[in-house]
Structure 1
């Protein structure tokens, strides 16, 4: 039996691979139905916004339904922002278990995503904090807070960039 650390690492490596391979339905299964998926924006004082209901966020979905809608638009080419879909490579590092409450685990990791589209390559980088809950032999993401550390982004940021 592998350690909790190894199980969590394998879970996040799989989630990244599913994004790179555009396996959208399998990727959605990584998320709990009542997940919160949030990427706050940087404020004028170089601090992240703290309330997705009252402040600007780069991405905010309060349930998996928002992610499902986004995936539907990507898959059916009803999203000009993601047509054509970019080719991506996700790299993860420093996967750290912050707390283990049995059925719920808090995790933080760093990431870098390389993205290629329209003869142009870009990279996005930052860190993520997640709450994972047990789901059978694996996990599901109950909450995901993404900190994008790029100073400038040239276009709309989307779920496959993170």
Structure 2
């Protein structure tokens, strides 16, 4: 697969659109089966935690199965945090390729999400770090680390917020 800058940006924009459109199956298909999805918490010393296995995280799924379970709960209304379903708008910008290897690309980008639910609009922003598997016909997210910059959260945060 060609992993040029345009292809990478198109992939990121598509993932954001799939979240906004709540196209959950297509969104999950953006992730490798072994994809790690992690949003570390901030410590009292204003540092990010470093180990999702031994420290508190805002969200942590060691593989795509955790994401699949989360989507199942959202779809079946077994998630009070997602009822009623929110309306979101994701903006992705400042995409940078950090490293390339034979079958993987490391990148970072900034994002901003607006979320409307229960007659209230919230916003979230941060930086994400991805490792993409580019060995197949389309990129797949192998690792996703989300740094939520506005960490004083007034509500439950979920995958569609970031």
Normalised TM-score (structure 2): 0.97
Report the equivalent of 1:17: 17
The count of residues paired between Structure 1 and Structure 2 equals: 162
Query: Do 2:42 and 2:151's aligned partners in 1 also have CA atoms closer than 8 Å?
Result: no
Report the equivalent of 2:85: 85
Structure 1 stretches of 4+ with a deviation exceeding 2 A read none
Distance in 2 (CA, whole Å) between partners of 1:23 and 1:131 is 22
Report the equivalent of 2:116: 116
Report the equivalent of 2:153: 153
The answer for unaligned runs of 5 or more in structure 2 is none
Query: Do 2:3 and 2:134's aligned partners in 1 also have CA atoms closer than 8 Å?
Result: no
RMSD over aligned Cα, in angstroms?
1.3
Helix, strand or coil for the counterpart of 2:139?
Answer: strand
Alpha-carbon offset, residue 152 of structure 1:
1.4
Report the equivalent of 1:63: 63
Helix, strand or coil for the counterpart of 1:138?
Answer: coil
Distance in 1 (CA, whole Å) between partners of 2:122 and 2:108 is 24
Helix, strand or coil for the counterpart of 1:88?
Answer: strand
Give per-residue Cα distances to partners, 1:66-88, cap 9 Å, x unaligned.
00000000011111111111100
Query: Do 1:7 and 1:138's aligned partners in 2 also have CA atoms closer than 8 Å?
Result: no
Normalised TM-score (structure 1): 0.97
Report the equivalent of 1:31: 31
The answer for unaligned runs of 5 or more in structure 1 is none
Distance in 2 (CA, whole Å) between partners of 1:68 and 1:36 is 12
Matched, 1:8 2:4: no
Alpha-carbon offset, residue 2 of structure 1:
7.5
Distance in 2 (CA, whole Å) between partners of 1:12 and 1:135 is 17
